[in-house]
Chain A
């Protein structure tokens, strides 16, 4: 698969991907070629912007993610990662711009979009007063799965994330890693085409992290699920991601394969490249933007 830009033109780092405009004068074969290219993109972000008053959290970003790709969306704290994911997953309405997910316009057709992705949020999103099985069942019924189908799938997913023997335990008694695994299993229950993972390994020990990434990698290889994830652990990116985009101050500053980014930044390791591209200043998330305060405190509590 071609990992460079559309039509094999290598991407220029500072320039976010823009789809070539469909000129009607070109010959049909070429048009078809473009069409196939577009169809390959399971996520298309066009000039996406989110403003909170005067503050621009996401500033006119454009990105494409190909079907079956493992895409790492990186950036310092407060760069706009979570805001972008929330817009991609119908939780936030963009101020302007468009998002297509699996061919559906996210703002105009939220219902169809919702069926086609699964998500593991940055902060916990389980009901602690329910058992692991009940959390899964709740999800299955919300997504309209039939009993015969979900019963089987839940059992399968429980064995996959190694929680089968704890399926009837209350989630409040789970460790952070177990909750994470349960959330991943839940995100996969309705067979999504895209899986969003917003810092899925935050606060987990190396063993659990390793386990989770191995599992996600297999999922991508075997079921061709597109993975869109964020993380602050650069070694995780180096191990699993095919494509990387770095966002800072709401803008995409670079996009490409790991090799391309290393080359452009003149660095040997992704962590060095990341720091040289985004600067070494420590960021503070704006506490008064939306539910950010809640997010930060949830992060600390985890």
Chain B
């Protein structure tokens, strides 16, 4: 338990000390709000779909949580390269505890980043239901845990950052763009419809949209179950990968 705490604390300290990267990570959501949010807003409204910022904001919050968590998980690669992972691995702590500490740390950091972006969307004109804020945070936390565990599971397998563009372009970006974060997932072409339905982040975006706006495609209970279930599966895969790591 103490081991999980100190691993979590380390992640948090490292995050708070890197002020430049916190500001940097806000840049992308702001551009999305400006260019896509306000740019497509008139078309969206004309199509009779309502206020686009209201629709887009939960997607952008999920984006910032997803990106921050996965990258924090991938930081394990740096720990490998700078040798710090060895220090953690020779300690009398199980690999699963290490994974859990790292995942919780990454998720917490991503939640902070997500809340910052949430505040920015409020400035941009997003008006969520505040009464269901705790439910929104629950969805957000599950998204954060899922992506953080995913990042850690991938990092366990990699020795350097050379595979990074591959992960970013073929995993992280599709997970975000094909999650219904920026477009409604109703009446899609069959292939896209299938992909969005098997993408667990679709359930995160939809759940968050339900909590914030009261609008949803999937039943909220289903979304919660999918997010929770997939997180458990990925943690199990990550634990297996971690147990195989030899330094």
Contact = CB atoms under 8 A, between A and B. Distances in A.
Q: Do A and B bind each other?
A: yes
Interface of A: 86, 89-93, 111-112, 114-115, 117, 119, 121, 123-130, 134, 137-139, 141-144, 186, 290-291, 294, 298
Given A86-B247, A91-B90, 12 more contacts: A111-B94, A114-B91, A114-B92, A125-B84, A125-B87, A127-B82, A129-B14, A134-B10, A139-B91, A141-B3, A142-B92, A144-B2
Interface string B180-203: 000000000000000000000000
Interface residues of B, number: 27
Contact of A127 (B10, B80, B81, B92): B10
Interface of B is mostly: helix
Interface string B4-17: 01100010011001
Contacts, number: 80
A126 B84 contact: yes
A121 B2 contact: no
B86 interface: yes
Contacts of A134: 10, 13
Contact of B84 (A119, A127, A141, A144): A127
A134 B84 CA distance: 13
Contacts of B5: 141
Contacts of A127: 10, 14, 82, 84
A92 B10 contact: no
B246 A121 contact: no
B27 interface: no
Contacts of A143: 91-92
A90 to B, nearest CB: 6
B247 A91 contact: yes
B83 interface: yes
A144 B6 CA distance: 11
Contacts of A129: 13-14, 17-18
Nearest to B244: A93
B213 interface: no
